[in-house]
Chains A and B, each alone.
Chain A
Amino acid sequence: MSNEVFLRRLLRVQNLSVSFLQAGTFHQVTHGVDFELMPGKVLGIVGESGSGKSVTSLAIMGLLPKDFARIETGSIEFQFAGRAVELVGLSKDAHRALRGKGMAMIFQEPMSALNPVMRCGEQVAEAIRLHQPDLTEKEVQDQVIALFKEVQLPRAEVLVQSYPHELSGGQRQRVMIAIALSCNPALLIADEPTTALDVTVQATILALLRSLSESRGLSVIFITHDLGVIAQMADEVLVMYQGKQMEFGKVSQVFQQPKSSYTKGLLACRPVLGQRYERLLTVKDFLEASSEEDLKLPVQAPDIRTAHLQVLYAQQPLLEVHDLKLWYPQKEVFWQKPSYVKAVDGVSFTVFPHETLGLVGESGSGKSTIGKLVAGLQEPTSGSLSYKGVVYDQMNGAIRKLFRRKVQVIFQDPFGSLNPRMTIGEALEEPIKVHGLRKSASERQKRLVELLEQVSLPASVLRKYPHEFSGGQRQRIVIARCLAMEPEFIVCDESVSALDVSVQAQVLNLLKSLQKELGLTYIFISHDLSVVKHLSDRVMVLKAGKCEELQEADALYLHPQTAYTRQLIAAIPETKFY
Chain B
Amino acid sequence: MSENSVSRVFWKRFRHNKPAVLGGFFLLLASLLALFAYVLAPDGSSNANQQELRLIALSPGSKVEVVVFEPQKPHSTSFWQKLYTGEAHPPAFFPVQRLRRDSDSLYFQMYRRTTDAETAWEAVPIHKQEGSYRVETRRYWLGTDVMGRDLLSRLLLGLRVSLSVGFIAVLISIAVGASLGAIAGYYRGWVDQLIGWLINVIWSIPSLLLVIAFSLALGKGMWQVFLAVGLTMWVDVARIVRGRVLSLREQEFVTAARAMGFSDVRIIFRHLMPNVVGPIVIMAASNFATAILVESGLSFLGLGLQPPAASLGMMIKEHYPYIIMDAAYLALVPGGVILLLVLAFNLLGNGLSDAFDSKVKMM
Q: Which residues of A contact B (CB under 8 A)?
A: 372, 375, 377, 401, 404-405, 408-409, 411-413, 416-423, 430-431, 434-435, 463-465, 467-468, 478, 481, 485
Q: Are B253 and A404 in contact (CB under 8 A)?
A: no
Q: Specify which chain B residues have a CB less than 8 angstroms from the CB of A413 in the assembled complex.
A: 252
Q: Are B256 and A478 in contact (CB under 8 A)?
A: yes
8 new A-B contacts at CB < 8 Å, known A431-B261, A467-B363: A377-B255, A404-B259, A416-B252, A417-B255, A430-B260, A465-B2, A465-B6, A467-B4
From known contacts A409-B256, A411-B255, infer whether A420 and B2 are also in contact, taking CB-CB under 8 Å. no
Distance in angstroms from B84 CB to nearest chain A CB is: 37
Indicate which residue in B4, B258, B262, B270 contacts A468 across the interface (CB closer than 8 Å). B4
| Residue-wise interface mask of B (319-363) relative to A, using a CB-CB cutoff of 8 A (1 in contact, 0 not) | 000000000000000000000000000000000000000000001
Q: Are B2 and A423 in contact (CB under 8 A)?
A: yes
Q: Are A416 and B260 in contact (CB under 8 A)?
A: no
Q: Are A419 and B261 in contact (CB under 8 A)?
A: no
Residue B103 at the chain A interface, CB threshold 8 Å: no
Residue B16 at the chain A interface, CB threshold 8 Å: no
Residue B251 at the chain A interface, CB threshold 8 Å: yes
Give the nearest-CB partner of A401 in chain B: B261
Q: Specify which chain A residues have a CB less than 8 angstroms from the CB of B261 in the assembled complex.
A: 401, 404-405, 431, 434-435, 485
Give the nearest-CB partner of B277 in chain A: A421
Residue B5 at the chain A interface, CB threshold 8 Å: yes
A375, A413, A465: residue with the most chain B Cβ atoms closer than 10 Å: A465
Indicate which residue in A418, A431, A468 contacts B260 across the interface (CB closer than 8 Å). A431
Distance in angstroms from B241 CB to nearest chain A CB is: 15
Q: Specify which chain B residues have a CB less than 8 angstroms from the CB of A419 in the assembled complex.
A: 253, 257, 271, 274-275
Indicate which residue in A372, A375, A418 contacts B253 across the interface (CB closer than 8 Å). A418
Distance in angstroms from B125 CB to nearest chain A CB is: 75
Residue B112 at the chain A interface, CB threshold 8 Å: no
B251, B256, B257, B277: residue with the most chain A Cβ atoms closer than 10 Å: B256
Indicate which residue in A375, A409, A416, A422 contacts B251 across the interface (CB closer than 8 Å). A416
Give the nearest-CB partner of A403 in chain B: B261
Q: Specify which chain A residues have a CB less than 8 angstroms from the CB of B15 in the assembled complex.
A: none
Give the nearest-CB partner of A434 in chain B: B262
Residue B266 at the chain A interface, CB threshold 8 Å: yes
In the A-B complex, the 8 residue pairs with the closest CB atoms: A404-B261, A417-B252, A421-B274, A416-B252, A411-B252, A409-B259, A417-B256, A431-B260
Q: Are A434 and B253 in contact (CB under 8 A)?
A: no
Give the nearest-CB partner of A414 in chain B: B252
Distance in angstroms from B281 CB to nearest chain A CB is: 13
Distance in angstroms from B266 CB to nearest chain A CB is: 7
Main secondary structure of the interface of B (DSSP, over half): helix
Distance in angstroms from B15 CB to nearest chain A CB is: 16
Give the nearest-CB partner of A426 in chain B: B270
Q: Are B2 and A404 in contact (CB under 8 A)?
A: no
| Residue-wise interface mask of B (244-280) relative to A, using a CB-CB cutoff of 8 A (1 in contact, 0 not) | 0000000111011111111000100011001101000
A377, A412, A419, A422: residue with the most chain B Cβ atoms closer than 10 Å: A419
Q: How far is the CA of A434 from the CA of B274 in the complex (A)?
A: 19
Distance in angstroms from B242 CB to nearest chain A CB is: 19
Indicate which residue in B5, B258, B270, B271 contacts A465 across the interface (CB closer than 8 Å). B5
Q: How far is the CA of A101 from the CA of B36 in the complex (A)?
A: 72
Q: Are B253 and A408 in contact (CB under 8 A)?
A: no
From known contacts A412-B252, A416-B253, infer whether A377 and B258 are also in contact, taking CB-CB under 8 Å. yes
Give the nearest-CB partner of B7 in chain A: A421
Near A by CB (< 8 A), chain B positions 262-303 give 262, 266, 270-271, 274-275, 277
Q: How far is the CA of A420 from the CA of B272 in the complex (A)?
A: 10
Q: How far is the CA of A417 from the CA of B271 in the complex (A)?
A: 11
Distance in angstroms from A468 CB to nearest chain B CB is: 5
Q: Are A420 and B260 in contact (CB under 8 A)?
A: no
Give the nearest-CB partner of A412 in chain B: B252
Distance in angstroms from A420 CB to nearest chain B CB is: 7
Q: How far is the CA of A465 from the CA of B359 in the complex (A)?
A: 13
Q: Are B2 and A377 in contact (CB under 8 A)?
A: no
B258, B261, B271: residue with the most chain A Cβ atoms closer than 10 Å: B261
Give the nearest-CB partner of B274 in chain A: A421
Q: Specify which chain B residues have a CB less than 8 angstroms from the CB of A404 in the assembled complex.
A: 259-261
Q: How far is the CA of A431 from the CA of B258 in the complex (A)?
A: 11
Give the nearest-CB partner of B261 in chain A: A404
Q: Are A408 and B259 in contact (CB under 8 A)?
A: yes
Distance in angstroms from A561 CB to nearest chain B CB is: 33
Give the nearest-CB partner of A464 in chain B: B2
Q: Are A375 and B259 in contact (CB under 8 A)?
A: yes
Q: How far is the CA of A278 from the CA of B48 in the complex (A)?
A: 85
Give the nearest-CB partner of B256 in chain A: A417
From known contacts A416-B253, A418-B253, infer whether A377 and B4 are also in contact, taking CB-CB under 8 Å. no
Q: Specify which chain A residues have a CB less than 8 angstroms from the CB of B275 in the assembled complex.
A: 419-421
Q: Specify which chain A residues have a CB less than 8 angstroms from the CB of B260 in the assembled complex.
A: 404-405, 408, 430-431, 434, 481, 485
Distance in angstroms from B122 CB to nearest chain A CB is: 73
Give the nearest-CB partner of B8 in chain A: A465
Q: Are A417 and B253 in contact (CB under 8 A)?
A: yes
Q: Specify which chain B residues have a CB less than 8 angstroms from the CB of A478 in the assembled complex.
A: 256
Q: How far is the CA of A30 from the CA of B86 in the complex (A)?
A: 70
Distance in angstroms from A498 CB to nearest chain B CB is: 11
Q: Specify which chain B residues have a CB less than 8 angstroms from the CB of A377 in the assembled complex.
A: 255, 258-259
Distance in angstroms from B249 CB to nearest chain A CB is: 12
Indicate which residue in B4, B252, B266, B363 contacts A434 across the interface (CB closer than 8 Å). B266
Distance in angstroms from B359 CB to nearest chain A CB is: 10
Q: Are A420 and B6 in contact (CB under 8 A)?
A: yes
Q: Specify which chain A residues have a CB less than 8 angstroms from the CB of B252 in the assembled complex.
A: 411-413, 416-417
Q: Specify which chain B residues have a CB less than 8 angstroms from the CB of A416 in the assembled complex.
A: 251-253
Q: Specify which chain A residues have a CB less than 8 angstroms from the CB of B5 in the assembled complex.
A: 423, 465
Q: Are B6 and A421 in contact (CB under 8 A)?
A: yes
B257, B260, B262, B277: residue with the most chain A Cβ atoms closer than 10 Å: B260
Q: How far is the CA of A430 from the CA of B266 in the complex (A)?
A: 10
Q: How far is the CA of A204 from the CA of B120 in the complex (A)?
A: 111
Q: How far is the CA of A366 from the CA of B146 in the complex (A)?
A: 78
Distance in angstroms from A392 CB to nearest chain B CB is: 14
Q: Are A409 and B2 in contact (CB under 8 A)?
A: no
Q: Specify which chain A residues have a CB less than 8 angstroms from the CB of B363 in the assembled complex.
A: 420, 467
Q: Specify which chain A residues have a CB less than 8 angstroms from the CB of B274 in the assembled complex.
A: 419, 421-422
Q: Specify which chain A residues have a CB less than 8 angstroms from the CB of B251 in the assembled complex.
A: 416-417
Q: Specify which chain B residues have a CB less than 8 angstroms from the CB of A485 in the assembled complex.
A: 260-261
